[in-house]
């Protein structure tokens, strides 16, 4: 999964057709639990570009987007927020896939 490097990159990426930002941190135990399943999820949803956002590097972005728990996911379609799965609760592969399946076509 590509890592977000700058706010300029975020602004550019969110205008792409379909992108999912995953907010995480290296120290987050719930984030580490889902790490092994992420490559499979990416492979099952090739229509999305997945971007890793380090919460500690982009804390102002997290505040702006009301991301106060990790791991969390926010999807954008062509510059508009298409959906969010934001909470501090550990997520399962099934829950992440249910979120992705619920996004508008």
DSSP code, position 37: G
For 44, 50, 92, 96, 101, the CA distances from 39, given in Å and listed in that order, are 9, 10, 14, 13, 17
Catalytic residue among 28, 38, 51, 53: 28
**Active-site annotation holds for 62:** no
**Active-site annotation holds for 28:** yes
Q: Note whether 96 and 41 are within 8 A (CB).
A: yes
Q: Note whether 75 and 18 are within 8 A (CB).
A: yes
Catalytic residue among 4, 19, 22, 31: 31
Which candidate, 92, 60, 58, 73, places its Cα nearest to that of 22? 73
Both tokens assigned to 33? 């639990």
The residues assigned a catalytic role are 28, 31
């Amino acid at each position: 999964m590509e890592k977000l490097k700058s706010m300029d990159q975020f602004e550019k990426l969110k205008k792409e057709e379909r992108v999912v930002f995953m907010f995480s941190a290296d120290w987050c135990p719930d984030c580490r639990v889902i790490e092994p399943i992420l490559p499979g999820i990416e492979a099952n949803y090739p229509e999305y570009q997945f971007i890793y956002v380090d919460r500690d590097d982009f804390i102002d972005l997290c505040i702006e987007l009301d991301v106060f728990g990790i791991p969390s996911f926010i999807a954008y379609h062509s510059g508009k927020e298409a959906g969010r799965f934001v909470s501090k609760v550990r997520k399962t592969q099934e829950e992440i896939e249910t979120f992705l399946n619920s996004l508008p076509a």
